[in-house]
Structure 1
Amino acid sequence: MLTPTQQTNNLTPHWLICAAMLALLAIYNLICHAWGSEIRIDVPEPDRILIRTILYIVAIVLFPLTNLIRHIFLRLNQTMPGAKSAEQRYLVTIIVTQSMIEAVSLFGPLMFLLGDDFNTLYIFSLLGALGIYLHRPKSMELQDIVAALAAKKDLST
């Protein structure tokens, strides 16, 4: 088993992915605030409502779907053969889940560009931040992968 210090060190790239996703979220918001009036397209209200509704539905579906995919990836990390380390396997899981949640974050700037108010931008931004938090790296998950790979290795020898 890894010590807590080793686990923290092993999760550094994973946390950098989360930090990058948060930075992108902040950049989207800054761009909308700084150049919002210049880059906005005024789409008619009924069309915006339809697009917004579809994006809310997609966001609602993406959260449990991302959770399911994360669960599947975690099990695959424990059982799939290969020479990759537990940290490398877990990094792929973090990248995939954070990328799926980042799509929700992009819905806010998209709707803002189409003419919606800052409220929609903030709602999707908060949903994205919540998703980043929910799918953050967890040392216990990495520890489970390490233990499963070690047990598998012991069985094969």
Structure 2
Amino acid sequence: MNNPLNREPLKSDLVLPWVIVGMMLTMLAAYIIVCHTFGEQLRQPLPEDQRVLIRTVLYIVAIATFPLTNLIRHIQLRLNQTMPHAHATPGTVALAKNRYLVTVIVSMSLIEVVGVFGLLMFVLGDGFNTLHIFTGLSALGLFLYRPKLDEYAEIMNAMTVQHHE
């Protein structure tokens, strides 16, 4: 599948995973818009010392989320390629699409949580700076773990080879 002509049909298989990414980006934008629009009405401020503790813990969790998501995604991609299947070739395409979609959904969901941390901290009384930092980190994660044609092509290749064995 390294031939670009063979890869063209695969691009259409990635429409739904890209829709998922678009929904996640829309949710991040919604967090920012809602906080800028209804900011003071949403806030339930905590004392500064408690907020600092919660913010620190959430930053640590956010930082740990990136390598954890990378590890989980790597494992899922390898499982997508190696898990046995007993379907005919048309079923192989559908199964590969479903497997890759699950991988994308899991990656995007894990990274979206980082954006939710920003919303949470804003509601607890932190400023827009914290909201924007967490949202920016989440957007970076959505970019890093976006659907990739090469990953999907590798899954298709592995499943096709496995089917012919």
TM-score, normalised to structure 1, is: 0.95
Root mean square deviation, CA, Å: 1.1
Partner letter of residue 119 of structure 1? Answer: N
Deviation by residue 1:66-125 (Cα, 9 ceiling, x = unmatched): 000000000000011235521111000000000000000100010000000000000000
Corresponding residue number in structure 2 for 1:36? 39
The ranges of structure 1 where at least 4 consecutive aligned residues each deviate by more than 2 angstroms after the TM superposition are 1-5, 81-84
Tell me the CA shift for residue 151 of structure 1. 0.9
**Structure 2 unmatched ranges of 5 or more:** 88-93
Corresponding residue number in structure 1 for 2:111? 101
Identify the match of residue 12 of structure 2 among 9, 13, 26. Answer: 9
Deviation by residue 1:39-78 (Cα, 9 ceiling, x = unmatched): 1011000000000000000001000000000000000000
CA contact (8 A) 2:7 2:153 kept: no
Partner letter of residue 81 of structure 1? Answer: P
Distance 1:70 1:22 in 2: 19
Corresponding residue number in structure 2 for 1:65? 68
Distance 1:141 1:94 in 2: 11
Q: Percent identity?
A: 53
Identify the match of residue 137 of structure 1 among 139, 143, 147. Answer: 147
5 Å matches for 1:49-60? 49-60=52-63
Establish whether residue 88 from structure 1 lines up as the match of residue 98 from structure 2.
Answer: yes
TM-score, normalised to structure 2, is: 0.91
Establish whether residue 126 from structure 1 lines up as the match of residue 136 from structure 2.
Answer: yes
**Structure 1 unmatched ranges of 5 or more:** none
